[in-house]
Structure 1
Amino acid sequence: MRNVLLVDDEPLIVQGMQSIIDWNANNMQIADTARNGVEALSKLEDSPVDLVITDIMMPQMSGLELIREVKARSPFTKFIILSGYEEFNYVREGITLGVENYLLKPVNIDELEATIKHMQHDWEREEIRQIQMDQSWRILRNNILQRWANETIDAKEFRERALLLEIPMTKSSYNAAALRIVAEPDHGVNDPQLYRPKIAEQCENIGNEQLPDGCEIICFPDQEGDIIVLFASSSLEGEEWQHKALHGMKQWIAADTGACVWGVIGQAEQTYLGFPLSCSKVKQWLQNHLFIGSETSIVTTGSDGEPVSFLEKREPAMEQFHKLLRDGESLEVNRFIDQFFDVQMDSHVARKPFFNSAIQLMLAAKDLEKTPDYGGVFGALSRIHTLSGLKQLVKRVIHQTLDTYHTIEKDYSPHVLAVLDLVKNHYKEELSLKTLSQKLDLHPNYLGQLFQQEAGTSFSDYVNQYRIERATHLLLYSDKRAGEVGAEVGYGDTSYFYRQFKKYAGVSPTELRLMYMKK
């Protein structure tokens, strides 16, 4: 909202100017009034304004003198002169001072509004120039684009920001694409997450090198680290130019980061209002698929062409796998995992059946542990984008378990065995070393030290890990709500249950269920 100061020694003129037009509709407000130049200067010292509308002939200080003084202090303030004197000398001097217009009394409404609209365009251009000189312009634009893609920005605010930030809104075709940068674990590739904005900036430069007439490209990183590409076109150019631009960006990122890069293009929408939908479909496609191999062609959503029936039926032979785990056959376990994940497909597969099966395999191994730690399972799953990465995770988790399970088991003292048994049978109840030590006729401190020494973890951690293990099974294999699950395993406070689950499992209960997508 722009602030306006009215300066005139005639009260009726001041009152009339306040109501002559709808100032709010023009994104302006009358901040204050003054009867002469001296009073105006005094008020401007405390509250600078964007526009001064002033009479010329006033006592103590004329309008022209006021303009000279204000311009010396605030060079960006704009001025409109009012006068009942149609004298060329005033007009000429006003023009010399750089006023926006010279309006005769009584003021013509249309001329005043036209002058204001002209000033608003000037202000917008000045703002753009000032912002563009600062790197914050790109940060601001990325923020607005992210909110637009996620549909978390009000339509009016977006239109205002889009005009300021030169985001196209009048094209006839809009669609989104995404470039996913995948640095697999243990491949010696530095994760380029920290400089994604720079990558997006360079991608935009590459995409704009050979654009067809009427087409625009804007690139920005989203909150998940993907580079989102906005394609906007005012003509029916087809998809060839988009594929060509995306391919150039993809090649540059791969060369610059050493990582694998995959590109997905969404369906076109007819107005800028459809861009969030196109973006959502691209992100959903990425969420639902795993990539195969180190190099793929650019995928267009809606054209998977994958044998769904085969993928939906792909489940591991769990009885065979359980036997291999119990026998400790590491080579056979590896062979089993390799055969299961050996898929003869092009570029990508559906994520759901492979994630479900991977979770089954890892939980089967975790069931062998006395105090399963799920942090390395579910937290790592959220960062998996490829079938090979998923296979590596499954092997790592399972072999970590086998390494400890098939060593010589510890001989627990009778007191610690009693504690373990009490936790197993009463984990839903309130448990503490104080109450357990009374049952065992031991000092709480001694029992705590003994348990830590033999179990390798504190009593409270053991109880929480056991409860989270039971909660994990309920979340995956029942339809109970998360709050009900928490209460069933001993957490009366739902928010506390969420915090503990996140701490020990690495993901929230909701995120866990999203990973394990039920059939």
Structure 2
Amino acid sequence: MRNVLLVDDEPLIVKGMQSIIDWNANHMQIADTARNGVEALAKLDGLSVDLVITDIMMPQMTGLELIREVKVRSPLTKFIILSGYEEFNYVREGITLGVENYLLKPVNIGELEATIKHMQHDWEREEIRQIQMDQSWRILRTNILQRWANETIDAKEFRERAQLLELPLTKSSYCAAALRIVTDLDHGMDDPQFYRPVIAEQCEIIGRTHVPDGCEIICFPDQEGDIIVLFASTGREGEEWQVQSLCGMKQWIASDTGASVWGVKGLSEQSYLGVPQSCKQVKLWLQNHLLGESETIIVTSDNGSEAGQACEKREPVMDQFHKLLRDGKSLEVDRFIDDFFAVPSEDGHPARTPFFNSAIQLMLAAKNLEKTPDYGGVFGPLSRIHTLSGLKRLVKRVVHQTLDTYHATERDYSPHVMAALDFVKNTYKEELSLKTLSQKLDLHPNYLGQLFQQEAGTSFSDYVNQYRIERATHLLLYSDKKTAEVAAEVGFWDTSYFYRQFKKYAGVSPTELRSMYMKK
């Protein structure tokens, strides 16, 4: 609601102006009135006013003098001049001061409303310019674009926001693409070198150099860190310019950050309503595939999941792998992993699921050799793996960490600690405590706790939780039991506590673990 100040020394004029039009319907309100310019200036000291409607001839201070004073204090305030007679000199001076209109009394309602509508358009344009200059505009734009791509915004709200953000909704062809930045290190979204909003902004600038007349390009980061690229075109230019734009962006990101970059382009849609479908197709392709060795621009087909099917039946020979682990033959273990992850060049970018499943099997096989396995290094990094080579490196790292500790620390425990380990193994589903166990072994709880910590390398309570999480992991991966059932079966009667402990030891939630390992 915008504020209006009426200034006139004739009370009837002031009263008439208050009722001449429906101010509320025009999103305005009469904030105050004044009888002359001096009184108006005094009231403006404590009042924010968008529009001043003032008479020309008033005692003590004329309307033009008032306008000059207000302009100094509030340059954005607008003015309408009222006069009982037409005087060219006043009109000319009012124009030089930038007034919106010069209205003769009695005021013509239609002319007043037309003037107000014109001012409202000016205000809207000024607001848009101000928003665009502010960082909040970028945040708003990214938020709206993400919601558009994810189909989480109401159609009416989107059209209103699209008009504000000047998004193209009248083109005849729309297509989505994604640029995925892959690094060896775990860089967050707020890392200055890999700050996605800045990268997306620069990509949009670079992409525009290849945009034909009548076409537009929009770039923004999605919530997973990919740079989403939207192409809007007339449909007559073909798609070569889109691939050229992606190549230019990809090359710039790679040279500026030193990271590897892959591009995936979806199918074209005939309306802006099809943008979410094109985005979904691109993201589905990335979700279903591991990226190969060559950085390239991939153009998907109709279902986005056609590549890599030849690899789906690949499974490691686990008996052979178990033997290599027990024998501690590191070089042969590496050769086994290299051979398994060797993909023929014609397969390009293999399907993600079978390789993720096999990688989990290999890592769990190694972890099962540990007395107190820590799954944080197994499942936590998986969500950040996008390449076949990255997955292979993770498997090797986890396996070698296990081999380095397993064969170096393999020794006999004292009878009391061995009894404690067996007790946990046989009764982990029940309520366990060091106090209860010490009574069974006829030992002082403090002595048993210190002995266990010294030999097992962890506290008794942590060992119990780790063992329960280990058993829960196998149930989550290899059974269809509900999470609450799994929690109860391994000794966690409070499901929320189970979730917290699982996240602590495994690095991911039970739900995230199951989404990583998809049973065939």
- Give the TM-score category using the shorter length: 0.7 to 0.9
Q: State the secondary structure of the residue aligned to 1:348.
A: coil
The correspondence of residues 439-458 of structure 1 with structure 2, limited to 5 A, is 439-458=440-459
Q: Does 1:255 align with 2:255?
A: yes
Q: State the secondary structure of the residue aligned to 1:80.
A: strand
Q: State the secondary structure of the residue aligned to 1:22.
A: helix
| Corresponding residue for residue 401 of structure 2 | 400
Shift of 1:147: 3.7
Alignment-mate amino acid for residue 487 of structure 1? A
Shift of 1:106: 5.5
What CA deviation, in whole Å up to 9, does each residue of 1:38-76 have, x standing for no partner? Answer: 665455433413333445566776654443332221111
The correspondence of residues 28-427 of structure 1 with structure 2, limited to 5 A, is 28-30=27-29, 32-36=31-35, 40-56=40-56, 63-83=63-83, 85-104=85-104, 107-133=107-133, 137-184=137-184, 194-302=194-302, 306=306, 310-344=310-344, 345-427=346-428
How many residue pairs were aligned?
511
Q: Which moved more, 1:206-215 or 1:123-132?
A: 123-132
Q: State the secondary structure of the residue aligned to 1:212.
A: coil
Shift of 1:474: 1.9
1:219 and 1:230 in contact (8 A); partners too:
yes
Distance 1:454 1:237, change over 3 A: same
Q: C-alpha separation between the residues in 2 aligned to 1:195 and 1:309?
A: 34
Alignment root-mean-square deviation, CA: 3.0
2:21 and 2:109 in contact (8 A); partners too:
no
Shift of 1:306: 4.4
Distance 1:251 1:479, change over 3 A: same
2:307 and 2:351 in contact (8 A); partners too:
no
Structure 1 residue runs without a partner (length 5+):
none
Alignment-mate amino acid for residue 269 of structure 2? E
| Corresponding residue for residue 488 of structure 1 | 489
Shift of 1:408: 4.8
Q: Which moved more, 1:32-41 or 1:385-394?
A: 32-41
| Corresponding residue for residue 16 of structure 2 | 13
What CA deviation, in whole Å up to 9, does each residue of 1:178-209 have, x standing for no partner? Answer: 111112369xxxx8763333332332222111
2:264 and 2:297 in contact (8 A); partners too:
no
What CA deviation, in whole Å up to 9, does each residue of 1:496-518 have, x standing for no partner? Answer: 32222222111122211111122
Shift of 1:132: 4.6
Distance 1:263 1:84, change over 3 A: same
Shift of 1:230: 1.7
Distance 1:363 1:119, change over 3 A: same
Distance 1:287 1:68, change over 3 A: same
| Corresponding residue for residue 461 of structure 1 | 462
Q: C-alpha separation between the residues in 2 aligned to 1:374 and 1:127?
A: 53
Shift of 1:265: 0.9
Shift of 1:374: 0.9
2:413 and 2:455 in contact (8 A); partners too:
yes
Q: C-alpha separation between the residues in 2 aligned to 1:261 and 1:387?
A: 14
Q: Does 1:499 align with 2:500?
A: yes
Q: State the secondary structure of the residue aligned to 2:384.
A: coil
Alignment-mate amino acid for residue 74 of structure 1? S
What CA deviation, in whole Å up to 9, does each residue of 1:339-383 have, x standing for no partner? Answer: 221111343111111111111221122222221111111111111
Q: C-alpha separation between the residues in 2 aligned to 1:53 and 1:267?
A: 56
TM-score of the superposed pair, with normalisation by structure 2: 0.87
Alignment-mate amino acid for residue 324 of structure 2? L
Shift of 1:241: 0.8
Alignment-mate amino acid for residue 80 of structure 2? I
Alignment-mate amino acid for residue 245 of structure 1? S
Q: C-alpha separation between the residues in 2 aligned to 1:307 and 1:287?
A: 12
Q: State the secondary structure of the residue aligned to 2:261.
A: strand
Q: C-alpha separation between the residues in 2 aligned to 1:105 and 1:160?
A: 39
Q: C-alpha separation between the residues in 2 aligned to 1:504 and 1:149?
A: 35
Distance 1:174 1:65, change over 3 A: same
Shift of 1:82: 4.4
1:168 and 1:232 in contact (8 A); partners too:
yes
Q: C-alpha separation between the residues in 1 aligned to 2:494 and 2:43?
A: 58
